[in-house]
Structures are given as structure tokens and as C-alpha cells.
Amino acid sequence: MKKIVFNKNTFFLVEQGILYWPKNLVLVVSDLHLEKSSYFAKFGQFLPPYDSIETLNLLDEILKQHKVKTVILLGDVFHDNDGYDRLDRRAKLIFNKINNKYNLLFVVGNHDQDINIPNIKTYEDITIDGINFSHKPSNLNSHQVFGHFHPKILLKLNGKRIFKKCFIVSSTKICMPAFGVFTGGLNVESDIFKKIFKQNKEYFLIDNSHIYQINLN
């Protein structure tokens, strides 16, 4: 884990791409994109249908490793509005267990904006102690944590191009990596990030069980 201070609060960047806030016992995770493979199957692109169970098993294991009361799902939890209904029995049991055990705050994203799940209340955004949690960055004059862009850093090693997930952190914004095992990503060198992060920013690359601070300036 990597400790950072954001809006005078201590947070930890967790190696699997999760943000942990010990003061409030909050764990933040973004862009699970559950049932993405089954969504593509509807259009004839048949992929191994194990992305949801793998992603949820990983989330469940991480939750066991931390003292957590509240879980913030930061949008695009499902790849489409019907994704929950397509979960197989095992995956649905894990998702429902997490919902029953923790205070689950389900922020909707652009993929699951109109989702309807039993016993789940959805939010456009959530503000806790002056920090706004949303799927996309907003024009609010506040500290913000968001996902949506799936930031990745391009590494060139031995003639090979390798993309690695990362966090982008500035004094007022944190962009979360995608947590789902079946997600793409956007290069942090994109002009989109230059528009969002106009002040100094830091990159924290995720590589297996480690987090490395990377200087791209």
C-alpha cells in the first residue's frame, strides 16, 4: 500500500487498484464492469464468462483484509443496465453478501445509469467530509475522487509496449484505475487528462503486488 494525504486526510492506495480511507473505514473501488463478457456474447463475440466471478472474488478477499464499514462503488459497476440479472448464482451470492455486510453506496456510471437492483439504492455522487465521490469529474469546487477513464501508463521494456493500471493524484483530484479484470484503459498522456489535471499530479503505477510512484514530467 502507498500512503497519501488528500484534503488533510490519510488514504492508502491499495495494490489491486482500491482506495482505502481508514478514518471513516471506507473502501472505494471503481469500474468493475461486471458481466462485460456476457454483454458482448449477445452480439456474437463469445468470451470466457468468468470476469464477474473473478472480479467479485478479488473484491471479497480485499474487503476481508481491511477494517471496512462502507464500500463506495464508483460507477460502471455493471457493464450495462441488465448486468445484475445475468450474474450467475455464485457471483450473485458474493455481490449480495457484500451488500448485506457493508454499507454499500452504489454510484451509477455511464454504463449502468438506469440499473435497478433489489435492495440497492443508487446515487449520482456522494460527498463525505468535503470529498466528492462520482463516476466522472465534475465542476464542483471540491476535492474529487472519480473513475471512468481507466488510466494506464505505457511502459517500453526490451522493445515491448506494456500498459499498467495506475492512480492519478493531485492536490484536489484522484482518478481511480478500473478494478474489473476485463477492462481496457486510457493512456495517461492523453489530452483528456491534461484538461482534467491542470495542476501538479503524481502517477502511482500498479504492478502485481506493488505500487510505484512514476515521474512522467
DSSP notation for 58-88 = HHHHHHHTS--SEEEEES-SBSSTTHHHH--
Query: What is the pLDDT averaged over residues 160-167?
Result: 89
Q: Is the pLDDT at 90 greater than 90, yes or no?
A: yes
Question: Which residue in this structure is represented by grid cell 453506496?
Answer: 105
pLDDT of residue 146: 98
pLDDT of residue 50: 62
CB 211 within 8 A of CB 15: yes
Q: Is the pLDDT at 104 greater than 90, yes or no?
A: yes
pLDDT of residue 184: 80
Q: Is the pLDDT at 140 greater than 90, yes or no?
A: no
Q: Please indicate whether residue 92 or residue 158 has the higher confidence score (pLDDT).
A: 92
Sign, Cα dihedral of 58, 187, 83, 96: positive
* Position 135 confidence tier, pLDDT thresholds 50, 70, 90: very high
**Percentage with pLDDT > 70 across the chain:** 93
- Record the cell numbers describing residue 147, joined without a space: 473513475
pLDDT of residue 45: 52
DSSP 3-state helix, strand, coil percentages of the chain (rounded to 5)?
20, 35, 45
**Percentage with pLDDT > 90 across the chain:** 75
CB 30 within 8 A of CB 179: yes
C-beta atoms surrounding 64 within 10 Å: 8
Query: What is the pLDDT averaged over residues 13-23?
Result: 96
Query: What is the pLDDT averaged over residues 110-128?
Result: 94
Long-range contacts of 158-164 (CB under 8 A, 24+ apart): 163/187, 164/205, 164/206, 164/207
Put simply, whether the predicted model's pTM sits higher than 0.85 gets the answer yes
